[in-house]
Structure 1
Amino acid sequence: MGGFVWKDSVAVITGAGSGFGREFALLGARRGLRLVLADVQADALQATLADVAALGAEAIAQTVDVADAGEVDALAAATLQRYGRVHALFNNAGVGSAGLIWENSLRDWQWTLGVNLWGVIHGLRAFVPAMLDAAGAAPGYHAHIVNTASMAGIVNPPLSGVYNVSKHAVVALSETLHHDLALITSQVHCSVLCPHYVPTGIHASHRNRPADLANDAPATRAQRVAQALVEKAVTSGKVSAAEVAAMTFDAIEQRRFYIASHPQALVGARIRAERIVAQGDPYDPFAERDGLRESLRRELEMGNRES
């Protein structure tokens, strides 16, 4: 059984301008990968390109909005024209939304699902057929796909419904991809990355929100409370994006499907499954954190009295 070879393999990374994507690129450069970097934020993308070039990596960069099928198709075309094959695909670009689920606007749903879910769909549609063609043509070819989901794709904390939906869909998509690939080939594998709170900058992802998907109305109190909660949790995370990148590369080498940045948080998955089997109420991750649920309830009740 052959395995993934890093040196001189070609890796496509979306969301390469920051967070996990940037760390995938830096680690990939050190492993000898040839890199195709994509991000919607041009200046951050160019900074990553410069950093991997300084490490001696061969790399190209393309500004891409992964929610746009045509732009992802163009990325695939440029990659295959330059290198002919793809060995690793990191469907990593992601954004965050927060607040009470009924208060989220149509544009919130369109933006979040467009990047978090459709970005993965477009990546698979654009690159997997080329991977399968390469596998059929060369018995020694091996490839791996990593889809970035979240711990919010396994459990469902309150005040992040749109984000939860997008990430649960990525987990479902990835699990199905695993099964489908196994029916066709033993040369292409996949993983789903489920990070918990890691300092990546996702709490500030609205900086790249397209103007045509911006909300006309100001944020509600619940949305402001939820945003502050997410920002505090993300920025205070103790596991770094670089550490998660290293975990991910280890998983590729081991052909391990589930990648959890905080394995201790998976207890929530067990409790959730037990609640489903028992046909009980859904598991609330906030109920495990001392006083958080009550504090949030008071904050929201105060907003209702003020309104």
Structure 2
Amino acid sequence: MKELSGKVAVITGAAEGIGRAIARRAAGEGMSLVLADIDQGGLDALAGEMAAAGTACLALRTDVSDPQAVDALADAAFARFGAVHLLVNNAGVAVAKSVWETTPRDWDWVMGVNFHGVTNGLRAFVPRMLEGGQPGHIVNTASIAGLLSVPALAAYNASKFAVVTVSEGLHHDLTLRGAPIGVSVLCPSWVKTRIADSSRHRAEADRVDPATLSGVSQKAGLAILKAVEAGITPEQVADSVFEAVAEERFYILTHPQSRAAVEIRMTDILQDRKPTLLSF
């Protein structure tokens, strides 16, 4: 989808980080915006910024893990603008724990936001996008952790691998129907966001206390935090997203070294090797 001016973009997880950068870039392309996030304060701030810049914008607090909330988001988007052309299922959270330390509530939270946030978005928006018959594009935010298995991120890895395979299947489903809707899956490596502090959105009793985790998990959590702080900017990721949309490119890998790491993983599988512990 090359022509964006005058089109409508829906972005979840829009209040900060990658979502906010994508929203700003979409506004710069002349798009109208539907912004969703669970962070009301951040959402209001971004909506105010967009209004001041003259961008048509609808902002709605949304828990993407709740199917009814996402249905309401879709209802509001189509009621306001009549169409959706770019759907960015971006909301995401993380818990840094080994698999045996990950609690049932951790699994429900991470899978609810990262995976069902995507599937809820697809179920709520795709039928209406198809009915509209207009060219469009869907971007699902996964992670390089959806292509590589990272230590101490069991639930996050599982959720992001799930997003990748659902996105691949979505591409096939739309292609077989001859639909004018492209698909991309975003698989960034380290980006300067607050993903390492995403538990701030949980009830206090569910927040991770590093003191309760094994030493290996604590070290991994600190390493992830440092890697995020040293990552690329959300604006660089947004640039990669819009390049991919224009080129109708499916996989969006934002870091050059990621490709070499994915190749090593594929070789492990094809040569029946044990998984290589990769640095990316």
Band the TM-score falls in, shorter-chain normalisation: over 0.9
Work out whether residues 244 and 250 of structure 2, in 8 Å CA contact, stay in contact via their aligned partners in 1. yes
Match of 1:230?
224
**3-state secondary structure, aligned to 1:8:** coil
- Measured after TM superposition, the shift of residue 269 of structure 1 is 0.8
The within-5 A match list for 1:3-82 is 3-82=1-80
| Pair 1:106–1:244, CA change in 2 (3 A) | same
Equivalent in 163, 180, 188 of residue 187 of structure 1:
180
Q: 1:46-86: CA deviations, max 9, x gaps?
A: 11111222222110100001011110010001111111111
| Pair 1:217–1:18, CA change in 2 (3 A) | closer
The within-5 A match list for 1:134-145 is 134-135=132-133, 141-145=134-138
Work out whether residues 130 and 179 of structure 2, in 8 Å CA contact, stay in contact via their aligned partners in 1. no
- Measured after TM superposition, the shift of residue 218 of structure 1 is 6.0
Match of 1:170?
163
Q: 1:179-224: CA deviations, max 9, x gaps?
A: 1110112411110000000101111111112458556996313443
TM-score w.r.t. the length of structure 2 is 0.95
Structure 1 letter corresponding to 2:4 = W
- More displaced 10-residue stretch of structure 1: 52-61 or 246-255: 52-61
Structure 2 letter corresponding to 1:236 = A
**3-state secondary structure, aligned to 2:109:** helix
Instruction: Give the RMSD, CA atoms, in angstroms.
Output: 1.7
In 2, Cα distance between equivalents of 1:188 and 1:169: 21
In 2, Cα distance between equivalents of 1:25 and 1:180: 27
Structure 2 letter corresponding to 1:152 = A
Structure 2 letter corresponding to 1:282 = P
**3-state secondary structure, aligned to 2:190:** coil
Number of residues paired by the alignment? 279
Structure 2 letter corresponding to 1:229 = A
Match of 2:82?
84
**3-state secondary structure, aligned to 1:13:** strand
Work out whether residues 110 and 213 of structure 1, in 8 Å CA contact, stay in contact via their aligned partners in 2. no
Select the structure of larger CA radius of gyration.
Answer: 1
In 2, Cα distance between equivalents of 1:111 and 1:14: 16
| Pair 1:215–1:155, CA change in 2 (3 A) | closer
- Measured after TM superposition, the shift of residue 157 of structure 1 is 1.6
| Pair 1:97–1:217, CA change in 2 (3 A) | closer
In 2, Cα distance between equivalents of 1:97 and 1:171: 19
In 2, Cα distance between equivalents of 1:219 and 1:193: 33
- Is residue 2:199 matched to residue 1:206? yes
Unaligned runs of 5+ in 2: none
Match of 2:257?
264
Unaligned runs of 5+ in 1: 136-140, 289-307
